[in-house]
Amino acid sequence: MGKNSGKGACKDANKDTGRDGEKEVTDVKELRDLLKMFEDFKKDFRAEMRDLKDGISFCTDVCNDVKDTATDIKNLRLEMQELLRQNIELREENKRLSERCDELEQYQRLNNIEVKGAPAESDPVTVLQKIGEAVGESIDATDIDICHWVSTPKRGVKNIVVRFVRRSKRNDVLAKCRKKRVDCSILGCAQKTPLFVNEHLTQKNKALLSAAIQKKKEVGWKFAWTTNGRVLVRRDEDSPVIHIAHEGNLAQIRN
């Protein structure tokens, strides 16, 4: 019985040893699997970190590009604002120069009058002298510097422009013509087509006078005329005279 007990104990010990060995093998296998999983995780993690790093680098580049673009836009906006400012200044300067040129051109015409409505075949000097006779202001050849036909913006229409030697003579003729109207009958014409004797205005001032006359008619004002190239308006005899220097002044002609 003692021998059998010893054999049984050995068998049990061997079984325990076998189980322990199997367990160790299993543990080693599991550990290897864990190590492999860890290595795979490290590889994946490193790959993801590289991707993340690349993504961050890309985002940084994009941010830098956006910043550079924003800076460029800001600089372009500043340049555009400067160009706009310069453009406004140039427009204002051009306006001032244009007005100044028109003033000088009008000044050069202060000795002039313009006659509209005369027959095209008429001699301009004869027309002028006949007008002088009709209004009671004698005009001699020595009073005249230049007297000739000039074209107008209207096709086929010409007016007579006269430059007097003395401005005082020109003013006397104008004053008489404003008091007494004349027509083509003084030239021997059958038709009594009106002859208009006015200051010799620049195109700008002609347009301004025309606009002032139209506006005064619309609102019922009485007077619109020119003196020394300046366009003037007046509501009635008791109202102050208003100088229409540019189109913006037309707003002053109102009820």
Question: Model confidence over 130-185: pLDDT tens digits?
Answer: 999 999 999 999 999 999 999 998 888 999 999 999 999 999 999 999 999 999 99
Correct CATH for 113-200 of 3.40.50.410, 1.20.120.1200, 2.60.120.380, 3.30.70.330: 3.30.70.330
- Indicate whether 14 pLDDT > 90: no
Tell me what pLDDT residue 180 has. 96
Mean pLDDT of the chain: 91
Cα(67)–Cα(56) distance, integer angstroms: 16
At residue 174, the pLDDT reads: 97
Q: What is the DSSP letter of 186?
A: G
The pTM of the full predicted model, rounded to 2 decimals, is 0.69
For residue 89, give both structure tokens.
């200044």
Q: Is 189 a residue whose pLDDT tops 90?
A: yes
* Contact (Cβ atoms closer than 8 angstroms) between residue 131 and residue 195: yes
The mean pLDDT of 40-62, rounded to a whole number, is 85
pLDDT reported for residue 44: 84
Question: How distant, in Å, are the alpha carbons of 112, 124, 150, 230 from that of 153?
Answer: 19, 19, 10, 21
Residue 39: the pLDDT is 85
Please, where are the H alpha helices in the chain? 2-107, 124-135, 167-179, 203-219
Question: 4 pLDDT exceeds 70?
Answer: no
Q: How far apart are CA 141 and CA 168, in angstroms?
A: 16
